[in-house]
Amino acid sequence: MNWTPPLKPAELTEERLITAILDGTFPADSNLPAERELAVQLGVTRPTLREALQRLGRDGWLEIRQGKPTRVRNYLQEGNLAVLAAIAQHQEKLPADFVSNLLYVRILMAPAYTRLAAERNPRPVLALLETYTALPETPDAYCTFDMQLHHTLTVASDNPVFTLILNGFQSLYSVMGRIYFIHVEGRQSSNRFYRDLLQCFRQSDAAGAAKLAEQVMTDSLSIWKTVAAPNP
């Protein structure tokens, strides 16, 4: 069994502060309380708090200003990939329309990395797609396979930035994907995509593969809005 180690005090403090930012306790563009007061509120030492604040400053959550109060950044405008990864791990505090916006980004990204994968390194994608017919009709099976497919596509594209971005919201996708694949429409749409994408890769049809990826991402957004979003 793989045990998750307990969070260290600074890590726990960091998590609490991120939650407080996301739930509006410390809204964007506000100032945090003075260090001494904030340490008391969180029940931690000032060195522990400073370590957490430095991490949050590095990751784009806070602006630490010498001699001035620490400002909470507008993380949706000033954040970075670290902020995206943290938001994905706090599904209960997601901003409105965050999942839909994430799916819009996939509509833009997926055709590009799918085309590159077909052109540059199709063999690992082919090997995976050839197993799709054995997928059990369960949300977990489809979610796991779909995540693995897109990860394989990004790696095969030979552009690691695609993989880093995908990894940034993988924990969110593992939750939302299972909701999405509860619905038969989601499983049927993806099943057709796997079938047709396999043919494109067999025929070295990179343009066709990119078109399929754009279509399935567009369909996924439509399906999410009509059947999955009301049941998060």
In this predicted model, what pLDDT tens digit does every residue of 103-128 receive, in sequence order? 888 899 999 999 999 999 999 999 99
Class for the domain spanning 96-228: mainly alpha
Strand partners, 72: 62
In this predicted model, what pLDDT tens digit does every residue of 147-200 receive, in sequence order? 999 999 999 999 999 998 888 878 778 888 888 899 999 999 999 999 999 999
- Exposure class string for 197-225: b at 16+ Cβ within 10 A, else e: bbebbeeebbebbbbbbbbbbebbbebbe
- Listed by start position, the domains of the chain span 9-83, 96-228
Strand partners, 31: 71
What does CATH list as the number for 9-83? Answer: 1.10.10.10
Q: DSSP state, 31?
A: B
Question: How far from chain centre, in Å, is Cα 189?
Answer: 21
pTM of the model as a whole: 0.77
**Closest among 182, 40, 218, 210 to 119, alpha carbons compared:** 210
> How far is it, in rounded angstroms, from Cα 42 to Cα 115?
49
> How far is it, in rounded angstroms, from Cα 69 to Cα 2?
41
Cβ neighbours of residue 36 closer than 8 Å, sequence gap 6 or more: 46
Of the pLDDT bands very low, low, confident and very high (cuts 50, 70, 90), residue 81 is confident
| 63 or 92, higher pLDDT | 63
Q: Cite the beta strand spans of the chain per DSSP E.
A: 62-63, 71-72
> How far is it, in rounded angstroms, from Cα 162 to Cα 113?
7
